Amino acid sequence: MKDKLFSKLNKEAIIYYGEHIYNTTTLTREEYEIISGSVLKRKREFCTGRYFSHKALKELGKDNTPLLKSQEGIPIWPDGIEGSISHCFHKGAVVVIRSDHKIFCGIDIECNKALPKEVERLILSKYELQQCIDLKKNPNIFWETLIFSTKETMYKYWCNKLNYKLKPEECEIKLIANKDIFYAKCKLPNDNIEYIVGEFIIIDNHIITLVIK
């Protein structure tokens, strides 16, 4: 099963989400060579990410273009395209957009369940934890997990844009829960500060966070 989702902040983005798909026949020869020796779990994740990516790329006229990866494991998108891929347990999500190196993106998907306390203490600041307490009036969302997801998304965004691995403490998140958006204050090298607006989607008891800028 796959669903096409829509960004509230960028109408040109193409987003696919759905259950893992393990079908190596959907891969190009070059893609299969990347994954042929991997364990089954990794094969499922890889096939799902490439399947959704090819669905999105087809809409942009880039069908059958092999989606390879860099030495760091980052997908190498076709010229004029930027994208991001994420996996969670048995689900995957992909965002793709035309770019010409002017727009970059990041996406993350997580199960909507409690974040382990040791991860919570490691990743979230006191300010972010207080937001989660204040938002407990909506108990259907695990807000700590949502903030964790936003930081994963910001990590991927800056990897794509600057090849910079943003640390959790370098990114402070403010949630605007009634609008399904978040603000990220990012501390970059040379004391540069960047403010990014992202969004989140709750679907099928999963959290998807997304940045396109």
Domain boundaries, the chain: 2-107, 112-212
**Does residue 148 carry a pLDDT above 60?**
yes
**What's the rounded mean pLDDT across residues 13-22?**
93
| Cβ-Cβ contacts under 8 Å for 120 (sequence gap 6 or more) | 129, 144, 148
Cα separation of 117 and 109, whole Å? 19
User: What is the distance between the alpha carbons of residues 117 and 14, in angstroms, rounded to a whole number?
Assistant: 34
181 near 128, Cβ under 8 Å?
no
User: In CATH, which of 3.40.50.2020, 3.40.190.290, 1.20.1440.230, 3.90.470.20 is domain 2-107?
Assistant: 3.90.470.20
pLDDT at residue number 42: 92
* pTM to 2 decimal places: 0.95
Residue 164 burial by Cβ neighbours in a 10 Å radius (0-12, 13-18, 19+): middle
Let me know if 47 is exposed, middle or buried by CB neighbors in 10 A (0-12, 13-18, 19+): buried
Same fold, 2-107 and 112-212: yes
pLDDT digits (tens, 9 = 90+) for 181-192: 999 999 999 999
Q: What is the pLDDT of residue 198?
A: 98
Q: Please check the confidence at residue 164 and state whether its pLDDT lies above 80.
A: yes
Which pLDDT score, from 0 to 100, does residue 138 have? Answer: 84
Q: What is the pLDDT of residue 145?
A: 98
> pLDDT value at position 124?
98
Per CATH, which fold does 112-212 belong to? Ribosomal Protein L22; Chain A (3.90.470)
Q: Which structure tokens are listed for 79? A: 């010229």
Helix (H) or strand (E) holding 123: helix 117-123
The mean pLDDT value for 209-213 works out to 97
**Per-residue tokens: 93:** 């999500």
Paired strand residues for 108: 209
pLDDT, tens digit, 9 for 90 and up, residues 31-86: 999 999 999 999 999 999 999 999 999 999 987 789 999 888 889 999 999 999 99
pLDDT of 2 reads: 59
Give the whole-angstrom CA distance, residue 48 versus residue 51. 5
The closest of 116, 7, 110, 125 to 56, measured between CA atoms, is 7
Nearest alpha-carbon partner for 93 in 8, 22, 2: 2
